[in-house]
Amino acid sequence: PDTSSRWANQANIDGARRFLQRRFPALADAPLLETHACHYEISVNRDFIVDNVPETTNAWIAGVGQAEGFKFGPVAGEYVAQRVLGTVGDPAVAKAFVLPKEEYAPPGPAPKPPSEEEF
């Protein structure tokens, strides 16, 4: 969160304007007062992550957020409990939810928020 932008960039604003022009023509040129970005986590391959923390045997990572992850709460909780207890039923599912092993470069610095003149 420290390096991400919480502001909509111009491409997003332009896309929203095009949507308004098509769906709500009377609002197409309405003033834009402010923007907000909705942040959520997602794995590189968009799969859930349920796996041991690397180089440990007693710490787990369980990431099933991905914006709509709340829908999976009950089944995800049951699955995580099975993994932690070592009673996984389907090895293919366990294999699909492993922590990616790739190395990732840290993101660059967060862009500055737009000034009032830029709106």
Q: Is the pTM of this model over 0.85?
A: no
pLDDT, tens digit, 9 for 90 and up, residues 31-83: 888 887 776 667 777 778 888 888 888 899 888 766 667 788 888 888 889 98
Please tell me the least confidently modeled range out of 6-15, 55-64, 105-114: 105-114
For residue 23, the model assigns a pLDDT of 92
Residues, the chain: 119
Please tell me the least confidently modeled range out of 2-6, 14-18, 61-65, 113-117: 113-117
**What backbone phi and psi angles, to 5 degrees, belong to 90?**
-110, 110
Distance, CA of 71 to CA of 24 (rounded, Å): 31
